[in-house]
Amino acid sequence: MNNDPKLNIIDFIIMLLLTVSADVVDILAVLGIAIPVIGPALPVIGWFYGLIISGIIIFWLIMKEASFRWFLGGSGLELIPILNGLPARTIALLATFIEGRLPTEAKAVISAATVKK
């Protein structure tokens, strides 16, 4: 049985750069709503960019056979207007990376605590 983490540091850094860029675009889009003419289009552009980045990261996590439930939840939160100005996607990626580094016993405890019965 291989206990090596599925995500290495290089993967994490590249994913982190992508998610931070998507969160920055979301924040700028929320702040730019007040700009006349182009302001209403900025959230739509930010939403599509974030959706594309989330899709890439989820596909990447699937291909690495890593758990993506935390990232999926954070990406889902980013789909809600105004709340997408929060860095939920980046925080969810950090939680996904940390969960991948935990020992098997800790993962079992987290899984038991988060699964609904």
Residue type at position 103: P
Q: What is the mean pLDDT of residues 55-69?
A: 90
pLDDT in tens, 3-15: 566 778 899 999 9
Burial class of 81 by CB neighbour count within 10 A (0 to 12, 13 to 18, 19+): exposed
Listed range (31-40, 62-71, 103-112) with the worst mean pLDDT: 103-112
pTM of the model: 0.79
Helical (H) or strand (E) element with 19 = helix 9-31
pLDDT in tens, 27-36: 898 888 888 8
Residue 68 backbone dihedrals phi, psi, to 5 degrees: -125, 20
